[in-house]
Structure 1
């Protein structure tokens, strides 16, 4: 497929193209996740740049160096009338608390345009998810995209956390996250790609983002960027060939969230030193409150979450 056909396929994509139609979805939501400073905002600018066929690169999403933490709000950037890219708040480390907030963004339990706070309180996390019912969103077809810079080196623990994150993204959305490796020429991207494939990644695409300092369009750079969007849309087409229920999927994502929060809460409590437990444990009524909400959501069933 040549570059012009790639661009046309993306611009003309419709959720109604399949035999089963849109099945209640009105928008494809390309959800960008990753660590801070790995190039999510620059990737959005690059996608807009290659699709708009403009010779002037515009900074729709503000992007700076890796020492900055800019994205605090879930911001949406339409690529077409049907496709929207979301710049979610990046994390500095993938601990249990940050992963829970990342999953809340992934599941659309934090409205677009709202500031994302890192909470370290399980009850507050549960209440935020309950509050999201005021603005229920069933019509977004979610595709997770994990953005990772090949310049960065992660520890064995962080790599394990990324593997867990990828597995849970698949459980929440039914789609294995697409991996976008940024700063392609600044590191051994083939080795990084190999690591992600060993974690279970199906699609790994290495790119160089366009920036104000490096904005002259090239065939290779533009093709790589378009291939990421095309890969996401091929995932959408594949899944829409099967019967789906958008409302049921949101309920399942909510079950996932409550179960995940429930499990990490009690895991953290069990890891407390015995000498600290009396001072730090929550009142028993809070424990019962969490268990009651979880039981009501799951209808008495169990759902194992890693």
Structure 2
């Protein structure tokens, strides 16, 4: 497809067109994730610029800055691309512990409502209460496609790579779709090495891009094609899944089961870590008392 055909395909996409109709879904939710400041908001602006097809570039989402020690997105914000497709800017993460990762999965499964502030917590009861609140008005209607935004100028360390690999695998467990990888700022890093890293993590769709910005928003064919291709790949994933018989309510139940299990394990991990710290402190105190007693005898 050329760019005009890709754009038309996206604009005309409907969940009702599958062999089993929409199966309970009424929109596609492109869920953006990634480290803070890697360009999720800039990618949204690029998508809006191309799909809306206006002449004037507009910053719908305020761009993040990796040098500012974190992104600016604190609230889950949704941006409508078409009548069937919405893109969501989720809070970016940094170094993550188990509870922060649970919060990320809660965003992924829409257990933190759109428009609500995302606050990292290490409190089991608070997380369970939030989950109960979300279930007062459960959302069974969004077909979720995870998209990871990763900046080419970022150096991912060994332990972070393992954490990210697990995150990608868990995204697939929750949604049935392995995240599409979007490498932003492709001119600022060694894209070949980054693509290899994500290939080793199991990624099949990896697309390097340069986002449109207020300073550089000429609609070149190459930049436009990359943005359209990412959205097209996401929709093809949806079409592929909807060829199978599925049920939106059952999918939501499975996502909830995964999240409940993850929160429980995160709580157990926290308790075990605290127990180890207390045990070390107890032994240190015993050794201190023994040494003190020995000194008195001498």
Shared topology, TM-score over 0.5? yes
Q: Deviation of residue 134 (structure 1)?
A: 1.2
- Counterpart of 1:95? 97
Q: Deviation of residue 270 (structure 1)?
A: 1.9
- Counterpart of 2:258? 256
- Counterpart of 1:41? 41
Q: Do 1:95 and 1:161's aligned partners in 2 also have CA atoms closer than 8 Å?
A: no
Aligned-partner Cα distance in 2 for 1:194–1:246: 34
Aligned-partner Cα distance in 2 for 1:98–1:35: 12
Asked if residue 115 in structure 1 is aligned to residue 117 in structure 2, the reply is yes
Q: Deviation of residue 205 (structure 1)?
A: 0.5
Q: Deviation of residue 177 (structure 1)?
A: 0.5
Greater helix share, structure number:
2
Q: Deviation of residue 268 (structure 1)?
A: 2.5
Root-mean-square deviation (CA), in Å? 1.4
Q: Deviation of residue 273 (structure 1)?
A: 4.8
Asked if residue 32 in structure 1 is aligned to residue 32 in structure 2, the reply is yes
Aligned-partner Cα distance in 2 for 1:214–1:21: 41
Q: Do 1:94 and 1:162's aligned partners in 2 also have CA atoms closer than 8 Å?
A: no
Q: Deviation of residue 266 (structure 1)?
A: 1.1
Q: Deviation of residue 274 (structure 1)?
A: 4.4
- Counterpart of 1:11? 11
Q: Do 2:38 and 2:64's aligned partners in 1 also have CA atoms closer than 8 Å?
A: no
In structure 1, stretches of 5+ residues that fail to align are 280-306
- Counterpart of 2:246? 244
Structure 1 segments, 4+ long, off by >6 Å, are none
How many aligned residue pairs are there?
279
Aligned-partner Cα distance in 2 for 1:245–1:28: 15
> Considering only CA atoms, is the larger Rg found in Structure 1 or Structure 2?
2
- Counterpart of 2:83? 81
What does the per-residue CA deviation read over 1:256-280, in whole Å, with 9 as the maximum and x for residues that have no partner? 111011112112222335462699x
- Counterpart of 1:289? none
Structure 1 segment 175-186 matched on structure 2, within 5 A: 175-186=177-188
In structure 2, stretches of 5+ residues that fail to align are 282-298
Q: Deviation of residue 64 (structure 1)?
A: 3.6
